Chain A
């Protein structure tokens, strides 16, 4: 079984600054994928970034980067140059990749508020 822990219920960040959202995970599967999603107040889950457990380099997608530390089982999301539109809930999720098409397991989320 997989488990995702997001210890920050809420975070504040000043516009144009960088922010790190924490995510730790637990799994016994040797091959797994880690995902970050953004959920604005409208409700839609927007895919941001993916990191595979065997990827040698940390994933980056525009202003988003994933600080993947496999030994510590952490997959923190870093948002650079925060914008007001980044205010939303952020969810870390994972799924096993070798066990058929397993469902995503989500953390409880972190609410990010960007202030001007």
Chain B
């Protein structure tokens, strides 16, 4: 079974531009979460999508947005890029059962390294 894939792997943008990152989850996984990783702040949760709906959101400005499609693929968008948005953006997918106490292991993709100049 193929793992989580993310495109592009590397991206260079300039301040003020916008960027769209894509994530394809493991087949059968319905939940997609996005994380930002920086040397200073570590790993921080951005948002989670399930069945095309945002189910959880981290503490990031409105410039960060996302969506999920009917095939569970997800995109995240960052508008008006700032230097501080330079980071590794990781996408993770999980089965996401609707009820019950279950182990919900999140499986991560290789990430997209974004550099904002």
Contacts and interface: CB of A to CB of B under 8 A. Distances in A.
Max chain B C-beta neighbours (<10 A), residue from A93, A106, A109: A106
Given A52-B103, A91-B43, A101 B50 contact: yes
B101 interface: yes
A101 B42 contact: no
Interface stretch (B63-71, B72-80, B88-96): B88-96
Contacts, number: 63
A106 B31 contact: no
Per DSSP, chain A at the interface is loop
Per DSSP, chain B at the interface is strand
Interface magnitude class on chain B: 20 to 34
Nearest to A109: B42
15 contacts: A33-B103, A33-B104, A37-B108, A42-B110, A43-B110, A47-B106, A47-B107, A52-B103, A98-B101, A101-B48, A101-B96, A103-B45, A103-B48, A104-B35, A104-B45
